[in-house]
Structure 1
Amino acid sequence: MSPPSSFAIDLPDHLVHRAQRGEASAFEQIYRRFERPVFTLALRLTGQREEAQDVLQDTMFKLFDRIGEFRGDCPFWGWLRQIAVNEALMRLRKRNRQPLAEDSDEVDLEAHDVMLPPAAADAALLAQALGKLPEATRSVIWLYHAEGYTHDEIAALMGKTASFSKSQLARGTRRLRDLLRITQEVTSHA
C-alpha cells in the first residue's frame, strides 16, 4: 500500500467557505498549509527548483481563480493535488526535450520489480538519483510511489497508456536501484 500523500491535509469546511467568499486571510492559511506539498510534488516531477517554484505559484493562482468550482464532493487536498500535478505535467510538456517512444508490449510487473531498495530511505540519495532519470520516468515513479496514483490514472494525466506507465515504472525502478547501489558503494568506500 502506498504511503499517504503529503497533500492529505484536512481543511475545515469553514476555511474553504471563507476562501470561496474571497477572504484573503483564508487564502493565506490555505497557501501556508499546502505550500510545501505542492512545491515538493512539483520539484519531484520537474526536477528543477525554479520550475517547481513556478508550478507552486501557478497552482496557487489557479486555486484562487477556481476555488468557487470546488464543490466538496472530494477531499480539498485531492482537488488541489490534481491542479498541482496538471501544472507540473504541463510544464514538462512545454519543455518537449525528447519524447519517449511508447512501448507497445504490455509489461508484467512483479512486486519486486517496483519496490525500491532500502537505500531509498535516504531522501538525499533518492533525490539525487531521481534527478538523473528522464522526466517522464521520474514523474511516473513519483506519481505512483509517493502520490499513490494508479497506472491508469498516470496514463490519463500524461496522455499515454497504462502500459507506458508500467514500463516507465519498471525501467525507472531498475535504474534507481543501480544508481542507489553505486551511490552506496561510493559512500561506503569514502
Structure 2
Amino acid sequence: MLIETAPAPSRPAPPHERPSSFAIDVPEALLVRARAGERAAFEQVYRRFERPVFTLALRICGEREAASDVLQDTMLKVIARIGDFRGNGSPFWGWLRQIAVNEALMHLRRGRRQAGELPVDGHEPADDSAPPPPAAADTAQLQRALAQLPAATRGVLWLYHAEGYTHEEIAALMQRTPSFSKSQLARGTRRLRALLQIEENDHA
C-alpha cells in the first residue's frame, strides 16, 4: 500500500524577490503630463499610490493621523520633485516608495519615537532567515498587534517582509547597522507571532 506524502512546504521568496505593494505600472505618457504640471495627471498618480503610501506609513508610524500626514508630505514632495525623475532603468514606483519610506522614518525621528526597539536578551541569536509573520485574520487584528511593537522594530518588520528591503538598506535608512536590523527582525517576528496568537485566542 502506497502512503501519499504531503508536498514539502515551499520556502518564502527572498525579500528582494517579493513583489512590493508599490509595484504599480505608470505609463510614460502620464509621467510626461505630470512633469509638465498637468493637475489631472498628478491626481491620477495620487490615486494609484494613495493606498500603498498610507499603508506603509500606518505600519511604520502606528497611527492613522501620522499616516495621513506622511501621505500628504510624500505626495507634495513627489509633485515638487517629479521633474527630477529620469528613470535610467529604475521604475517610478521605486523612486516614489523611497520618498514615502524617508518621510515615514522622518516622522518617527521628529516624534523621538524611533529609538524604541526590542531589547537584546543575551542568548537569542539574530535570525537572518526569519519567516514572515503569520497572516492575521483581518487587517485590524494585524494593525493592533503591530501597534504594540516598538516603532523601530515595527519599521524593520514592514520594510523587510512587506517591501523587500535588505538589512543593509534598512540600516542605511534608519542610520543603524545591519546587525541591528537582523536582530530586530528576528525578535520582532517572534513577538508579533505571539501577539497575533493572543489576538486569536481572545476572539475565539
State whether structure 2 residue 48 is matched by structure 1 residue 33. yes
- Assess, with a 3 A threshold, how the Cα gap between structure 1 residues 7 and 64 changes in structure 2: closer, same or farther: same
**1:171 offset after TM fit, Å?**
1.1
Contact 2:57 2:100 in 1 (8 A): yes
Gap regions ≥5 residues in structure 1? none
**1:139 offset after TM fit, Å?**
0.4
* Aligned sequence identity (%): 65
- Assess, with a 3 A threshold, how the Cα gap between structure 1 residues 53 and 161 changes in structure 2: closer, same or farther: same
Contact 2:22 2:94 in 1 (8 A): yes
Distance, in Å, in 2 between the alignment partners of 1:52 and 1:100 is 18
Contact 1:107 1:166 in 2 (8 A): no
Choose which of 117, 132, 135 in structure 2 pairs with 1:115.
132
Residue equivalent to 1:24: 39
Distance, in Å, in 2 between the alignment partners of 1:122 and 1:22 is 39
Greater C-alpha Rg: 2
Distance, in Å, in 2 between the alignment partners of 1:7 and 1:98 is 23
**1:123 offset after TM fit, Å?**
2.7
Which amino acid counterpart does residue 40 of structure 1 have in structure 2?
T
State whether structure 2 residue 94 is matched by structure 1 residue 78. yes
Gap regions ≥5 residues in structure 2? 1-12
Helix, strand or coil for the counterpart of 2:173? helix
- Assess, with a 3 A threshold, how the Cα gap between structure 1 residues 159 and 140 changes in structure 2: closer, same or farther: same
Distance, in Å, in 2 between the alignment partners of 1:98 and 1:163 is 17
Helix, strand or coil for the counterpart of 1:78? helix
Contact 2:61 2:108 in 1 (8 A): yes
Contact 2:128 2:186 in 1 (8 A): no
RMSD value over aligned CA atoms?
2.0
> After alignment, is 14-23 or 93-102 more displaced?
93-102
Q: How does 1:154-165 map to 2 (within 5 A)?
A: 154-165=170-181
Contact 1:152 1:162 in 2 (8 A): yes
Residue equivalent to 1:54: 69
Residue equivalent to 1:166: 182
Deviations 1:98-155 (A, max 9, x none): 724797x9954164x43323x5364332111001100000000000011111110100
Q: Given the two structures, how large is their TM-score scaled by the length of structure 1?
A: 0.90
- Assess, with a 3 A threshold, how the Cα gap between structure 1 residues 110 and 136 changes in structure 2: closer, same or farther: closer
Contact 2:113 2:151 in 1 (8 A): no
By percentage of residues, which structure has more helix? 1
Aligned length: 185
Which amino acid counterpart does residue 112 of structure 2 have in structure 1?
N
Helix, strand or coil for the counterpart of 2:108? helix
Which amino acid counterpart does residue 42 of structure 1 have in structure 2?
A
Deviations 1:132-183 (A, max 9, x none): 1000000000000111111101000000000000111111111111111111
Distance, in Å, in 2 between the alignment partners of 1:97 and 1:21 is 39
